[in-house]
Structure 1
Amino acid sequence: MILIYCDVDENGNILDLIQGYRVIPGRQYDYFFVREELIDSALYKVENRELVQKPTA
């Protein structure tokens, strides 16, 4: 399991992210998620407190 800690802007876009198998954050983040794989922060956002993939064009 991948641990994901992230901060987001007012639109839910990820501004700062740390992720890994054994991540211990050095500060408080806005959100915490557990996923099966690493994510690309440019392809995901937070909506309604859930990590969701951004729509593709």
Structure 2
Amino acid sequence: MEPRPLTLALRLAVTLSPDGRWTARAELPDGSVKVFSSPFELARFVAQAPVAVPGKGGGLR
């Protein structure tokens, strides 16, 4: 049996305040909430998660 790829499913809400502050709130599959204060922090979190890469061959990123 071939191993199934891991996926990360989350709900994400991004807000930009009138004074330019950026925040994102993610609801993770286990019900926990993570708040990010910059797009770079969010990108770093997503880049470190084992996410299935679509396309030929699949695999993890």
The normalised TM-score by structure 2 is 0.29
Q: Which has the higher contact order (CA 8 A, sep 6+)?
A: 1
Q: Which structure is larger by alpha-carbon Rg, 1 or 2? A: 2
Structure with greater helix share of residues: 2
If each structure's strand is expressed as a fraction of its own residues, which one has the higher value? Answer: 1
